[in-house]
Chain A
Amino acid sequence: MHQTPTPRPHRDDAEDNFIRSAGAQLLLFAAVAVIGVALLMFVLAGLVGSNAESVSAVDVERNMITISLADEPPQLDSGMGADSISGMVLGHVMEGLITRDAQANLSPGVAERWEINATDATFYLRKNARWSEGEPVTAHDFVFAWRKAADPAQASEYAFLMYYLRHGEAVAAGQLPMESLGVTALDDHTLYVELSRPTAFFDKLVAFQTFYPIREDFYHRTQGRYGADAEDLLYNGRFKITRWIHGASLMMRKNEYYWNADDVRLDAINVGYITRDGHSRFNFFKDNKIAYAMLQSEQLTSAMENRFHIRRYQDGALFFLEFNHRDDRPTRSWHLRRAMQLVTDSVELVNKVVKLPGYLPGRSLFPVYLRGVNRPFREEFPAPDPELDLELALSHIEQAKIELGVDELPPLTLLIGDSPLAKNQAEYFQSVYQQLGLTIKIDAQIFKQRLDKMKRADFDVVMAGWGPDYDDALTFGDLFASWNLNNHGRWQNAEYDSMVAIAQNSIEPDERMAAFATMQRLIYEEAVILPHYERGTSYVTHPQLKGMVRRAVGADPDLRYAYIERETE
């Protein structure tokens, strides 16, 4: 007889018992684990150290506000590179000869008064300006700092600003010793500057961080670590850094030695969080941990829902499509560029793709906040009206093919960075230029590789941006001079170059502004670039935070004049 194997019973009492007791064991194990972990965390917290005080965005008792930064300042040596983060911090803890007031006008800083003319400038320093150790700020501090910025051994990216001083270029190239730089201290409180050529905007230039003072003896005392930590810096601004925990937080307290300390209404600015993630920062704001936050387009609805007061400002940067004008590139053909210009609708780009309030559709190389002779430049010299004409564009495409001697236009490589907004825009343009029969290949590179490719001219078109170094139209105008290394597309035009020369060497406002107007026209007619937009930022602030100034040029955000409004009602 054959046997059918009996199916194993699913469970029996013994197994039941087994499961129950095993379950009890597990529960016990879980309880022990939880207690153990809690103890461990307690120990760890003690070891790692508690540097987080209980903070809220606006602390009325301590007269302190808490903010967040997007990144750790790479370094705080004012003579070296200038990114916006270190610019913001330095703008609060140091002060130059001239500074800006709450209305963005130039106002006396360390210098009480000054005289600037075509060949030289004299600054008269106030006697009561002091460093955070108590020592007075002298003209020698400026001389040391400026020489250091020009010193080739320092390899500062902003040494070119010293070219405006006599012998500046030669000193930076190592051909002359540092002492020949055109700046001397006539006495402790008088600074005498010789200019290399007439510079109409020298006063605005001097407000920039590269021209801040540095004390020579302190610098040597830090033995190469100047700017690395809070104790490796000396401060002459409204605030001083009392604690800097890298990557985590930064505490700025009122500098009691500042010459106008009574005007400083906040006791402390606490940079409590450093993170690149905009969503996190918005969460911190909603949680009442920081006093202001930038808004990205996805956060706008939430901001409206929460009844936050939303503001916006032009942050100064212009973004555009730059062509490669070299001889081996299809984009050297003016017809091709003109065709692309005729279908690029920056209004649609801003309204449908970027979707952020505050972005202005790009129409010119010169943004709207630049001043002309008496009024904004773009009011006195309006930008050319944008034309959109698909038929005309297609006919230019045909002409381009003839000019380049091809039957079909080759695909164009569009170089972009790795930010999400860049990707969106690139995809949008892919579709736009497809109407012309153009194939666009998107080459998305991370930061250093994109820069590298731009320098090596390994692109047909690139989505680029430029921010102002100083508050004068020349900072944008000279971008496309044939000698400028930042002119990545290597566009060359003799008329344009001569306009730049006028703008650089003349001190007559009418003459200069007319030159800029010609540049603006040439950029449009030659389709050198296609302006996309002038970036604006939307942000929200704590209702009790008042007096915060946003700037297109200079330290931004500027909290030097900020104060906390007591809650009324």
Chain B
Amino acid sequence: MWRYTFKRLIQGLVTVWFIASATFAAMHLVPGDPLASDKAVSPEIRANLEKRYGLNEPVWRQYTIYMGNLARGDFGISFTQKNRLVNDIIREHFPVSATLGLLAVIFAALGGILWGALTALYRNQLPDFIIMFLVILGISVPSFVVAALGQLGLVSLNNLAGVNLLPVGGWGTIAHMLVPSMVLGLSTMAYLTRLMRSSMLEIVNSDFVRTAKAKGLPPPRIFTQHQLRNAVLPVITVLGPAIAAITTGGFVVELVFAIPGLGRYFVEAVQQLDYTVIMGTTVFYGAFLVFMVIAVDIVYGFVDPRVRLE
């Protein structure tokens, strides 16, 4: 087990290195000048700007310098937010996105398992139809619409109640976390519901459940120990990437609810061609994702005895 984990970690580091290199290459291949601004500057000032950000060196040398710094954990200074270290940016904003993302994933996972199990249980009856209808709404409405509607709903709610029930934006207390994380987790919850349902339905007809029933096991035990546990497996597989996707997909929610998360930097850095922030957030996000996947694989090995970790 430990050897497996160790091997995976080493592989993870290699993957992260590949990610960093590929992003570096892509970044420099994309046209556009990271130092361009609305006002033209004189050539001397331009030269000084380049020197300050290390852009006057040939590209391969920039690469080695950057990788060296990366190994020491130094992501450099942001191009757009002068005087701000990328490390600081990540350190200050990632916990916010992570909290938001974590809550969203928890809502999505719990909700998905719950609703999915319900629909499988009450297949072709009223609860099934209602839930599936909501699921379809959940996936066919884009995230920015849901976020905008969510905020609008809060405003109306506060107006109706006459007093501030829930804050319409910002960050800091439980009340601030509630609605944004639900909005963020909505489409993933819909997806997981479907997945869970499909998985459960297959299992309901499977041999081992029939055997368990034939054996006379009490139904609750069949449900939890056999059905649920097996149906959850595909959900767990997807959870790893889902977590990472949510953490950056949070961009829209962070924008609408004025939440100071990392997602905003991630998207805007590409638009602004802020090299250091692009590299910093990509490498960080990549490492996060890679290690999340490793963790999920290990958990999977525990949950499913049939899978032997080599």
Contact = CB atoms under 8 A, between A and B. Distances in A.
A–B contact via C-beta, under 8 angstroms: yes
A259 interface: no
B33 A287 contact: no
Given A48-B96, A152-B45, A283-B168, A452 B33 contact: yes
Contact of B40 (A80, A232, A418, A455): A455
Contacts of A309: none
A224 interface: yes
A283 B155 contact: yes
B107 A37 contact: yes
A78 to B, nearest CB: 12
Interface in A1-45: 14, 17-19, 21-26, 29-30, 33, 37, 40-42, 44-45
B220 A22 contact: yes
B32 A452 contact: yes
Contacts of A52: 167, 170-173, 176
B95 to A, nearest CB: 6
Contact of A246 (B84, B110, B151): B84
Q: Which of B31, B107, B222 has the most chain A CB atoms inside 10 A of its CB?
A: B31
B190 interface: no
A155 interface: yes
A41 B174 contact: yes
B7 to A, nearest CB: 32
B220 A21 contact: yes
Interface stretch (B68-76, B238-246, B251-259): B251-259
Contacts of B122: 19, 23
Contacts of A246: 84, 88-89, 92-93, 260
B46 to A, nearest CB: 8
Contacts of B99: 44, 48
Interface string A144-160: 00000000111111111
Q: Which of A23, A80, A158, A283 has the most chain B CB atoms inside 10 A of its CB?
A: A283
Nearest to A40: B106
Interface string B145-171: 000100110110011000010011111
A449 B152 contact: no
B114 A485 contact: no
B29 interface: no
Given A157-B45, A247-B260, A452-B33, A44 B170 contact: no
B121 interface: yes
B168 A284 contact: yes
Contacts of A452: 31-33, 36
A280 B258 contact: yes
B197 interface: no
B206 interface: no
A18 B219 contact: yes
Nearest to A154: B48
Interface of A: 14, 17-19, 21-26, 29-30, 33, 37, 40-42, 44-45, 47-52, 68, 72, 74-75, 77, 80-81, 152-160, 172-174, 224-228, 232, 245-248, 272-277, 279-280, 283-284, 286-287, 289, 418, 446-449, 451-452, 455, 484-486
6 contacts: A51-B172, A52-B173, A155-B48, A174-B44, A284-B258, A448-B271
Given A50-B172, A245-B92, 19 more contacts: A21-B218, A23-B118, A23-B122, A37-B110, A44-B102, A48-B96, A49-B172, A155-B45, A246-B88, A247-B264, A248-B170, A248-B171, A287-B155, A287-B158, A448-B272, A449-B32, A449-B273, A455-B40, A484-B40
Interface of B: 31-34, 36-42, 44-46, 48-49, 52, 80-84, 88-89, 92-93, 95-96, 99, 102-103, 106-107, 110, 114, 117-118, 121-122, 148, 151-152, 154-155, 158-159, 164, 167-174, 176-178, 213, 218-220, 222-224, 255-258, 260-261, 264-265, 270-273
